[in-house]
Chain A
Amino acid sequence: MSKKILVVDDSRTALMMEREILERRTTYQCVTANDGQEAVEKAQQEHPDLILMDVVMPRMNGFEACKMMRQQASTREIPIVLVTTRGEESYMEAGFQSGCNDYITKPVNGTELVALLQSYLGE
């Protein structure tokens, strides 16, 4: 059974790109959400093997969603990779404090993204 990744971004462009990469370059299944609130709900319903999540989003941002998922038993152990345009150290630190496992910056390098996902999920 293929591993499932929950991709979260309010940008349709980013979602399209990440979905294309996952569908064409990996065997992982892809489900999507458009903001942090929806991500928390989808994570509980879909039980993904990994969450790839943008930080700056409406309703609930990636940091808040990450914290919330870490507080819930059903989502506590899911690896979370945050994706953002902000590469400053303080911002990355805030990401790790929210409970994420990894942090990558935009523009996303597709090859590096696939390698990172495989390091968590295997090929």
Chain B
Amino acid sequence: MNGDKSSATGAKPAVVETMNDLRLGAARKRLAESSGQEDAIEGVREIVANFLGSEEMGLFRVDRRTETFEVFWSFGIDLEQYDLLRALGDTGLQRVMRGECHVDLGTRERSGAMAKAQAFVPISVADQTIAILAIFRLLPQKVAFDKSDMELFKLLSDEAAKPLFGVTGHAAPRTEGPGVRM
């Protein structure tokens, strides 16, 4: 016996919802209640702006057949000339294609004419990255991403694919390495 009354009686321990739980719950509900692709995109924009503190973002679709990335949508920033592969680098690309978030912990300054992304969030389905959400300049009052933001990245990564692209379930087995180049 471990002396845990709730275990002994079979009762669940009281769950205390933190503010972060409420935030995650609101984000999850917003994505799940999206009425279509356009509304889902708006939902992602709202989540990034309201909860993560950035009004510059872009979504890149991964085309495994042609092994390219394509700008699918952007907000607050022109990504026409943006070189996603260069921005990610080999390590970053491998991480994101493995389904891990890649957060830039370096400078917040802009590099050259193009803004520097602060975070790359894989949008995944069945363990396969089908798109990448890049989050650029943070609002002046947002110093940096914190631990709770990582949980929100994870939620976007796991739950945004269906409302954004209408895809669920069974993808091909993950390939070794990134499997995508430009």
A-side residues, CB < 8 A to B, are: 11-14, 16-17, 20-21, 24-25, 85, 87-88, 105-111
Q: Which of A12, A14, A85, A105 contacts B55 (CB 8 A)?
A: A85
Q: How far is the CB of B134 from chain A (nearest CB, A)?
A: 18
> Which chain A residue shows the least CB distance to B49?
A85
CA distance A110 to B140 in the complex (A): 19
Q: How far is the CB of A102 from chain B (nearest CB, A)?
A: 15
Given A13-B27, A106-B53; A21-B22 close (CB under 8 Å):
yes
Q: Decide: B50 and A14 in contact? CB cutoff 8 A.
A: yes
Please report the number of residue pairs spanning A and B whose Cβ atoms sit closer than 8 angstroms: 60
Q: Which residues of B contact A13 (CB under 8 A)?
A: 26-27, 30, 43, 46-47, 50-51
Given A12-B46, A13-B43, A88-B140; A107-B53 close (CB under 8 Å):
yes
B-side residues, CB < 8 A to A, are: 17, 19, 22-23, 25-27, 29-30, 33, 43, 46-47, 49-53, 55, 139-142
Majority secondary structure of chain B interface residues (helix, strand, loop or mixed): helix
Q: Which residues of A contact B141 (CB under 8 A)?
A: 87, 105
> Which chain A residue shows the least CB distance to B18?
A110
- Highest count of chain B CB atoms <10 Å: which of A16, A88, A111: A16
Q: Decide: B139 and A110 in contact? CB cutoff 8 A.
A: no
Q: Which of A14, A88, A111 contacts B46 (CB 8 A)?
A: A14
Q: Decide: A106 and B22 in contact? CB cutoff 8 A.
A: no
- Highest count of chain A CB atoms <10 Å: which of B17, B25, B27, B30: B30
Q: Decide: A21 and B140 in contact? CB cutoff 8 A.
A: no
CA distance A72 to B17 in the complex (A): 40
Q: Which of B23, B33, B53, B140 contacts A17 (CB 8 A)?
A: B23
